[in-house]
Amino acid sequence: MAGLIADPFRAARLVLHLRQEGVTDDGVLRAMETIDRAAFIDDPALTDLAFENALVPIPCGQIIPRPVTTGQLIQALQLEKGNKSRVLLIGAGSGYTAALLAQIASDVFAVERFNALTEAIRRRILNLELSNLAVRCGDGLPGWPERGPYDRILLAGAVEEIPEALLSQLGKGGLLVAPVVTADGQVLMRLHENGERERLGFRHALPLLREGPAQAL
């Protein structure tokens, strides 16, 4: 099937590097050794970066984060395959993170503000036959309340404050994970539906999520 890693050596090397960087969740590792990051890179000249721990530029001035960053974000959600979790992803970008989540969760709903990226994700959903992944174009910070509530919500970009609109879409026992901008840099936060907050270690810098849909692209 298109979009799956065909080279077992490259997949094994990727998993080894992820483990060395603290990504140890079996479900996350299985997803990342299955879904080919190269399938989400538009520029053929950049596909060699797919198995490197490198940022990759994509259209609309956006990026695909480093694999380690992506793995740590998904791991922080504490998803368990088979638990029928419903996940909301804000800032879908290339669709790579959404495709990984679709390998673990039962249903994934992704929001992307750029129409060109949204259409590209829809094509990739068809190629990968991801029937449990839906995407829409629009402002992600208000969430997608029509499809809620959610067991997990992941912000794939940084925010200065967690929008209350997103917290209100968490179901009972739900978790929200987001990189939050602080005076010390970006900190990965995990917020529980009951109000509990956890500050997790994080040394990456992700672009800020912006309000509103993109006007031109």
Domain ranges of the chain: 8-200
Angle at CA of residue 57, ends 177 and 12, nearest 5°: 70
CB of 176 closer than 8 Å to CB of 150: no
CATH of 8-200, one of 3.40.50.150, 3.50.50.60, 3.40.50.720, 3.20.20.150: 3.40.50.150
- What is the distance, to the nearest Å, from the Cα of residue 172 to the centroid of all Cα atoms in its chain? 22
pLDDT in tens, 74-117: 999 999 876 789 999 999 999 999 999 999 999 999 999 999 99
DSSP-H helix ranges across the chain: 8-20, 26-32, 67-76, 96-104, 115-128, 164-167
For the entire predicted model, the pTM comes to 0.93
Q: How confident is the model at residue 215 (pLDDT cuts 50, 70, 90)?
A: low
pLDDT in tens, 164-196: 999 999 999 999 999 999 888 899 999 999 989
Place of tokens 């940022």: 55
Model pLDDT, residue 48: 86
